[in-house]
Amino acid sequence: MLSNKPRCASLPNYLLMQSIIPTLTELVENALQACAQKHAWQLEQPINIAISPAKNPQWGEFSSAIALQLAKLTAKKPIDIANELMAHLPASEMVQTVNVSVPGFLNFSISQNWLSAQIPQILSTGASYWNSNDGQGKKAMVEFVSANPTGPLSVGRGRGGVVGDTFANILQAVGYDVTREYYFNNAGNQMRLLGESLQIRYLQVLGEAVELGENHYQGEYLFELGKRLVAEKGESLRTAEVETFSKYAELAMFDSIKATLERMNIYMDVYFNENSLFEDGSVWDVVNRLTAGGFTYEKDGAIWFVTTRFGVEKDRVLVRSQGVPTYRLPDIAYHENKLRRGFELIVDVLGADHKDEFPDVKMGVEALGYNADGIHLLMNQFVSVKGQRMSTRAGRFTTLDELMDEVGADVVRFFMLQRDSSSHLEFDLDLALEQSEKNPVFYVQYAHARISSILRKAQEEGYSFENADLALLAEPAEKALLLKLLELSEVVRMCAKEFAPHHLTYYARDLASAFHAFYRDCRVLDSQNLPLSTARLQLTAVAQIGLARALHLCGVSAPETM
């Protein structure tokens, strides 16, 4: 572990707000139990009760298809079941009305009073209103980026960086104690090639007729570094060892990577050096224990891991015949190290090109006697910009820095989060460059700036924020905005549960849209109607907190003016 950067404190989460879907689920659950008992329904398995937002306002705000699911089990008509369930629903302050529609949906309308009552709660709790405690304070690690210091970060790595950092934010919001970790290797073949590449570039700058080999790093950045080296050291390194160049390049590349990450608002807690696993003997310790457990054998001078025992078609090499381990072995040792440090949830954010190493790691720690269920893969597919694929080795890439120079960190982060990470991402440079409503980042940020502007103006003109009569908030747009705001906690939980941070950007856009509709229909500041102004000011303030929370979880700024 190289360094331990301080990062901003995670938000406390102590207040578990009563959120809508879990509450409705509980109501239906109670009704179901009552009906099942009364009519002796055979519910051998626990029924999964789904509550989803209604697709049409005529059905209220939330619906459940539970009666349709139960039709077969009970041999009754869905519509009858729904009516029966409705009759047994416990009363709740949250629910205004319940009705049944064909073919048997149970529809809920949320009470306006209950909704309004959430406003003071959010105002007093702040951004942590939407937190939950699903993680129960357990230790979680998100390992991401993990690029070896052989070159500037590519756009592809940037996706892993954004997805990993955002997912870490999400885990904190659902109550985990999160560590962000970067795993790297500064020994071995890659670093030797890097050193050779720099050496050749350095000599080229000095006018020598030397050329890069096919395996060397072709990127222009090493030529630039060579020039820098000449400027600093002159010709003194003409006969220097490769190691001198390797070390110099490594430090320079790491500085550049860290600067890039910082620019993207990413701060690692731990930089973990793969080499430490060799130095403390844990790599060889892993081999010995696997061997003692009967999980290895020797063939052709190499040590093989019996992965076929876990149902894989081929065994894998752990230690090459020359005695050098493959990447697989330190990876297993590394994950054992993570488990030994007490992490109960371990998330590896990997690119699609590294996906296949993941199962080997899980099999490895299982063979060592651990339960690997807490280790998860968050794979992200490749990124392309204008059809060009990234390849560091070939030196034909757009670096993250170049991309941020073009469009800014906020746009990069938001765009990287707009796709399911298992889908390919085509970075639309033209759209990203658009400083207008076409660009979804500006759309969301604009809503926040608009809100800020109203609140500023209210303050300047002396409008009261206190003692609001929130029952005055009766417009459909007001209700819709509140409902959308209250959805955030569910969105965050879903992101965590599904390892899918992209839902956040969709939510942010929906919330911005709900605010814009409110802005259109409901004038906030009206000197002729001060009570209504105060009520709407409170709602506006809550919208600001929610929008900022969604943006900040994405690692995107929430500007006060634009």
Partner RNA sequence: GCCUCCGUAGCUCAGUCGGAUAGAGCAGCAGCCUUCUAAGCUGACGGUCGUGCGUUCGAGCCGCACCGGGGGUACCA
Site for RNA in 433-472 (CB under 7 A): 435-438, 440, 442-443, 446, 449-450, 452-454, 457
CA dist 271 and 280 (Å) reads: 17
- Does position 529 interact with RNA (CB under 7 A)? The reply is no
Nearer to RNA, 177 or 410 (CB): 410
- Residue pair 170/496 in contact by the 8 Å Cβ criterion: yes
Of 233, 355, 376, 552, which lies in the binding site for RNA, with binding defined by CB under 7 A?
A: 355
Sheet with 375-380: list strands edge to edge.
270-273, 177-184, 139-143, 345-351, 375-380
* Residue whose CB is less far from RNA, 226 or 501: 501
- Strand 302-305 with 316-319, pairing: antiparallel
Residue 202 contacts residue 230 (beta carbons within 8 Å): yes
Q: Does 528 bind RNA (CB under 7 A)?
A: no
Query: Nearest approach, Cβ of 227 to RNA (angstroms)?
Result: 28
The residue from 86, 117, 431, 472 that contacts RNA (CB under 7 A) is 431
Task: Give the separation between CA 332 and CA 63, rounded to whole angstroms.
Answer: 46
Shortest Å distance, C-beta 126 to RNA: 22
Interface residue with RNA among 3, 37, 52, 236 (CB under 7 A) is 52
Q: At what angle do helices 488-498 and 476-486 cross, to 10 degrees?
A: 30
Binding mask 492-511 for RNA (x = CB under 7 A): --x---x-x-xx--x--x--
Assess 5 for contact with RNA (CB under 7 A). no
At its nearest, how many Å lie between RNA and the CB of residue 276? 14
Name the DSSP class of 188: S
Question: Any contact of residue 68 with RNA (CB under 7 A)?
Answer: yes
Alpha carbon distance 525, 541 (integer Å)? 13
d(CA 42, CA 200): 77
Site map 81..100 versus RNA, x via CB under 7 A: --------------------
Provide the b/e sequence for 106-121 (b: ≥16 CB within 10 Å): bbbbbebebbbebbee
- What token pair was written down for 343? 């992490």
Q: Is 337 in the site for RNA (CB under 7 A)?
A: no
Q: Taking CB under 7 A as the rule, does residue 277 contact RNA?
A: no
Which parts of 147-166 interact with RNA (CB under 7 A)? 148
Q: Is 374 in the site for RNA (CB under 7 A)?
A: no
Tell me the window of 8-16, 221-229, 297-305, 397-405 that interacts with RNA (CB under 7 A): 297-305
Q: What share of the chain is helix, strand, coil (3-state, %, to 5)?
A: 50, 15, 35
The distance of closest approach from Cβ of residue 255 to RNA in the complex, given in angstroms and rounded to an integer, is 20
Query: How near is the Cβ of 57 to RNA at its closest, in Å?
Result: 10
Q: Which residues fall within 8 angstroms of residue 299, CB to CB, at 6 or more apart?
A: none
Alpha-carbon span 305 to 303, nearest angstrom: 7
Q: Should residue 297 be labelled a site residue for RNA when binding is judged by CB under 7 A? A: no
How far, in Å, CA of 303 to CA of 319, rounded?
Answer: 5
- Binding-residue total with RNA (CB under 7 A): 94
Q: Pick out residues in 100-119 that bind RNA (CB under 7 A).
A: 101-103, 105, 107
Residue 394 binds RNA (CB under 7 A): no
**Residue 501 C-beta: closest distance to RNA, Å:** 11
